[in-house]
Amino acid sequence: MANPNFVDYVKINCRSGKGGAGSAHFRRTRSNPRGGPDGGDGGRGGNIILKGNQQLWTLIHLKYTKHVKAGHGLPGGGELKSGASGEDKILEVPMGTIARLADSEETLCEITHEGEQSIILKGGRGGLGNDHFKSPTNQTPKYSQPGEPGSEEWIILELKLLADVGLVGFPNAGKSTLLSVISAAKPEIADYPFTTLRPNLGIVRYREHLSFVMADIPGIIEGAHEGKGLGLRFLRHIERNSLLLFMIPADSDNIRNEYEVLVNELRQYNPELLDKSRILAISKSDMLDEELKAEIREDLPDMPYIFISSVTTEGLTEMKDMIWEELNTNFKL
């Protein structure tokens, strides 16, 4: 069963605040019983705002939040006093969160930086007070504007993990083991398919205090783009990775064929994924001698590759060198 602490999709009913009404007040004092209009403006309604928070990694804190309401603006008063604005409702979300309308699928915003804010639902404007409507021909306007109503929408928040490197492979290809060896991440590991039921992120330390972020994406199977296996639930996380590290075990019946199946699943899901840089890592290579490696090399796809073993750490330093060079060349980390 998937870890309930990883939540990457929530649907929330959001309601922004309505604007306060403008005032139709007239100045009345003992010395000036027939003063002119002095009605103030109503306050604007509260907005619904998303804010990036790099301390958050999932949307679990919003899992049981079904309704979010911003405050209403207050009406204006006499002496040109404006009403207070309604309280904004700020939803803090992790980097990589996308907000879209549930009905139309229209994308509202994408949060990618710490502290970044985006209004996903604006509050209604406050109404103008009668002071705005005075003129030489109408010196005592007895009317003002009502405030605008707020908006109500069902909003979908969807998290796509931001990572430099995404691990792509069939279940039990050794992705979680690799991540646990080269980073401080501790994903669940066992010798059966679909051990990983949620993405895991790890910070991989590199030479001279450098680092990059690697994501262990739950295993893909043939037909994943149609929802088979873990299907569409996690394919979207690959969209945010700068580089794809394909992992195929050395004991695979046909490494080239497995690679083509993986590539086809990505192509069927989103052809743009194939524009990303790719490296092939042949895992569990500690079981191979040089003769077997030479045989395998003859039938590998035309792309950068490396033989690795998470058990003996064979090739891991060289693999990190390849990854860093690719990231630094193409993406200027």
Tens of pLDDT, residue by residue over 171-192, are 777 888 898 898 876 654 444 4
Stretch 217-243: mean pLDDT: 61
pTM score, whole prediction: 0.69
* Residue pLDDT, tens place only, 34-57: 888 999 999 999 999 999 998 888
174 and 133 in one domain?
no
Q: Which conformational region is residue 164 in: left (phi greater than 0), alpha (psi within -120 to 50 degrees), or beta?
A: alpha
Q: What percent of the chain has pLDDT over 70?
A: 87
Domain end call among 143, 159, 175: 159
Are the CB atoms for 201 and 57 separated by under 8 Å?
yes
Residue 174: its pLDDT value, please?
A: 82
Domain end call among 159, 187, 217: 159
173 and 120 in one domain?
no
Q: What is the CATH number of the domain that holds 288?
A: 3.40.50.300
Per-residue pLDDT at 298 exceeds 80: yes
Residue 75: its pLDDT value, please?
A: 97
Q: What percent of the chain has pLDDT over 90?
A: 56
Counting the structural domains of the chain, the total is 2
Lowest mean pLDDT among 147-151, 233-237, 286-290: 233-237
Residues of the domain holding 89: 1-159
Residue 5: its pLDDT value, please?
A: 58
Q: For the chain, what's the residue count?
A: 333
Distances (CA, A) of 151 to 44, 69, 94, 99, 121: 13, 10, 25, 16, 7
Rounded CA separation 167/183 (Å): 13
Rounded CA separation 45/41 (Å): 12
Residue 6: its pLDDT value, please?
A: 67
44 and 86 in one domain?
yes
238 and 314 in one domain?
yes
User: How many Cα atoms occupy the beta-carbon half-sphere of 192 within 13 Å?
Assistant: 1
148 and 186 in one domain?
no
* Residue pLDDT, tens place only, 63-113: 999 999 999 999 999 999 999 999 999 999 998 899 999 999 899 999 999
Q: What is the CATH number of the domain that holds 47?
A: 2.70.210.12
Q: How many CB atoms lie within 10 A of CB 115?
A: 9
299 and 248 in one domain?
yes
Question: pLDDT band at residue 296, thresholds of 50, 70 and 90?
Answer: very high
Which of 158, 279, 177 lies closest to 219 in space, CA to CA?
177
89 and 215 in one domain?
no
169 and 91 in one domain?
no
117 and 187 in one domain?
no
Residue 196: its pLDDT value, please?
A: 44
Are the CB atoms for 68 and 12 separated by under 8 Å?
yes
Distances (CA, A) of 22 to 19, 48, 171, 246: 9, 23, 63, 62
129 and 9 in one domain?
yes
Distances (CA, A) of 146 to 23, 41, 46, 134, 177: 9, 10, 16, 17, 62
150 and 203 in one domain?
no
Per-residue pLDDT at 14 exceeds 50: yes
| Interacting residues of 55 by C-beta distance below 8 A, sequence separation 6+ | none
* Residue pLDDT, tens place only, 240-251: 788 999 999 998
Which of 211, 185, 212, 189 lies closest to 200 in space, CA to CA?
185
Token pair of 102 as six digits: 């549930």
Domain end call among 136, 159, 182: 159
186 and 69 in one domain?
no
181 sits in which H/E element = helix 175-182
